[in-house]
Structure 1
Amino acid sequence: MKLTQKTVVVVGATGQQGRAVTRHLLRDGWQVRALTRDPHGARAAALAQAGAQVVRAQMEDVDSLTVAAEGAWGLFSVQPTVGSSGTAPDFTAEDEVRWGVNVAEAAHAAGIGHFVFTSVAAVDRHLEEKLPVNLVSKWHIEQRIAALGLPATILRPVSFMENFTGGYALRNGNLSTGLAPEVPQQIIAVDDVGAVAALAFSRPTEWIGRAVSLAGDELTPVQIAAAIGNALGIQLPYVQIPIDAIRALSEDFAYANEWLNTLGYRADIRATRNIHPAAMDFDTWLERTGASRIAAFLDSARTSGQDT
């Protein structure tokens, strides 16, 4: 039996990473079992229309995950982090770890042959330096995957280009984050993570046992704002949010920004392109999907009367 005649389970299939992985797997001919807590939602319906088998399962319910994984060969796992879109306001790093461990335990119980987990770049420096909470949580999940002896591939992407498409960074007519204006930041398109995940499933002998960092470009926030402005034909200044203002809301988020402004991911972009030569730089991503998404957000914000 060819590998692509086997089934790969995608956990969190309606999230942006899950959708990207599902899209690439289906394009490559895999059978995909897409897990979601809401199989009747619009995103789940789109996955079904594309050819995925949509199955209800919840990451807080390990039994539902185990049942959903039975009979599958591969499984892709990704969890939301604190502050991710769609998570409850009280969602914590401990919840993320528990969900990630649940998925790993279910994969182990179901006898999954290849487990691909999306972690985050720099997590392997956990014992060398103080990492932000959202990195440490993924390190804990990685440790459980290893302890279970799962035949696993760990993908460690840097920050996503998609972070610049909505209200997280676009407000008051500016691009605005806690990142220092002139400090280069590493970024990658979510679609490229999906492509590498599909590649890993297609070459298990080569990929099982590997942990790879992924980055597609490195730009300062000022350069990112300028690139968006050029793509949309608008003026988009960059304005840094003071770290003290962020700290007043969240000490963890303030530290994450300080870490990015000083130590950062330090992934090898050339190594990423050796693995995936089509990995997008920021201008390519803007041309393909980013600019239209940003324009749609800005138009929607204006129409609804929001102050952007």
Structure 2
Amino acid sequence: MKKILVTGATGKQGSATAYELLKNNFEVYALTRNPHSPEALNLEKAGAFLVKGDLEDIEGLREIFKKVDGLYLVLPPVWVSSRETDEKEADAGIQAINLAKEQGVEFVLYSSVLGSDKQELFRPRFKFTIEKYLWESGLQGAVIRPASFMENLLLPSFGLAEGNFINPLSEEKAVPWVATSDIGAFARIIFQNYKEFDGKTVDFGGESLTPKQVLNLLEEKLSQRINFVQVPLEVLYQQSETFAKLVEMIDKEGYDPIDHKFISSWIPKLTGFAQWMDETGIKKIKELGSEGN
């Protein structure tokens, strides 16, 4: 297994996976809507073959699917989710799996989301739909379910550029976090050992932290006071009913325990939150603040 098509190749986890594969002598085909973007050009400089295209136009990808051994399937993020966006994502994932089977792709690694199975109660056609379709397809494959990205803290919705930490969860509700670089490393390991991972679903995340613990770490590492903004559930419902129900699910049930022993048997140590802040977070959060001035 040497030729891998990476969808979402200029996104956070797609690019992390592409660079990991390139560093380990894989031939990487990077799917991007805009091959002239800085992110795409950097991938090309690193040795990736850029593929202009979109999973929504699946027919245009027939030839590239025929060329590769493996597919890293991650769907574009949706920041304001709804029943319609969930349906669209499920359809795109199913079409990609169908084409992979038709064109003889040997192995599909699908990146879902932590707790996808629990979300099926209020998201009947979403990421868990794609997971089930992969298993029913008869293809060799695996599913990775990443936890919350540490890099998501850089999104405007968290408000760090303005000195805020906008939080939708209960203050003391701990959830696991993960650095996208670790997702890329684990994806690479799965492709290197695809026969051992065939049929496996892996919940993937590191240390669990409450919003208050995240806030304390941010204040300590940035050496500044940050305003904690708790978003009421009724406000979340006004913004996105789907997201509000997700927050309710996490608050009431939480996530299933992650098998850290299994993960550490492949990656001895994941990036901790403090480590991510020291290596990446502090610099990028300060850049957010300077951009807003």
TM-score bucket of the superposed structures, by smaller chain: over 0.9
TM-score (norm 2): 0.93
Find the aligned partners of 2:13 and 2:28 in 1 and give their Cα distance: 14
1:269-308 superposed matches below 5 A: 270-271=260-261, 272-301=263-292, 303=293
Q: Which residue of 1 aligns with 2:12?
A: 16
Does the CA contact (< 8 Å) of 1:120 and 1:158 recur in 2?
yes
1:114 maps to what in 2? 107
Aligned position for 2:145: 156
Identity level (%): 30
Cα contact 2:10–2:39 (8 A) shared by 1: yes
Alignment of 1:235-274 (within 5 A): 235-268=225-258, 270-271=260-261, 272-274=263-265
Q: Tell me, in whole angstroms, the C-alpha distance in 2 between the residues paired with 1:164 and 1:125.
A: 24
Q: Is the 8 A contact 1:217 1:269 kept in 2?
A: no
Partner of 1:204: 194
Structure 1: gaps (5+ residues): 304-308
Separation of aligned partners in 1, 2:282 and 2:265: 26
Structure 2: how far apart are the matches of 1:205 and 1:144? 19
Alpha-carbon distance in structure 2 between the residues aligned to 1:164 and 1:126: 23
Q: 1:180 aligns with which of 140, 164, 170?
A: 170
Distance 1:274 1:243 in 2: 39
* Equivalent residues, number: 291
Residue 74 of structure 2 corresponds to 78
- Cα-to-partner distance string for 1:197-237 (whole Å, 9 max, x where unaligned): 00000012211111110111101101101111111111123
CA shift for structure 1 position 7: 0.8
Q: Is the 8 A contact 2:170 2:211 kept in 1?
A: yes
Q: Which of residues 89, 92, 95 in structure 2 aligns to 1:99?
A: 92
* CA displacement at 1:136 relative to structure 2: 5.4
- Offset at residue 65 of structure 1 (A): 2.4
Counterpart contact for 1:123–1:136, Cα < 8 Å? no
Match of 1:306 in 2: none
SS of residue matched to 1:168: helix
* Distance of 1:280 and 1:136 partners within structure 2: 32
Runs of 4+ in 1 over 6 A off after TM superposition: none
Match of 2:60 among 61, 64, 67: 64
SS in structure 2 opposite 1:235? coil
The secondary structure found in structure 2 opposite 1:22 is helix
Q: Report the residue type matching 1:112 in the other structure.
A: V
Q: Give the deviation of 1:75 after TM superposition.
A: 0.9
1:163-198 alpha-carbon deviations (Å, 9 max, x no partner): 212211125522012111111121111111111100
1:20 Cα shift? 0.5
Question: How does 1:34-53 map onto structure 2 within 5 Å?
Answer: 34-53=30-49
Instruction: Please identify, of 136-145 and 219-228, the stretch whose mean Cα deviation from structure 2 is larger.
Output: 136-145
Give the residue type in structure 2 aligned to 1:287. D
270-279 vs 150-159, which deviates more? Answer: 270-279
What per-residue deviation string (whole Å, max 9, x for no partner) do you get for residues 63-120 of structure 1?
Answer: 1222222221111000124317xx9x99711111111112211211221111110011
What do the CA deviations read for 1:24-46 (whole angstroms, capped 9, x no partner)? 00111111011112112221111
8 A Cα contact 2:83 2:242, kept in partner:
no
Contact in 1 for aligned 2:142/2:200 (Cα 8 Å): yes
Aligned-residue CA RMSD in angstroms?
2.1
One of 127, 132, 136 as aligned partner of 1:143: 132
CA–CA distance in structure 1, aligned partners of residues 83 and 142 of structure 2: 30
Query: CA–CA distance in 2 between the matches of 1:10 and 1:43?
Result: 14
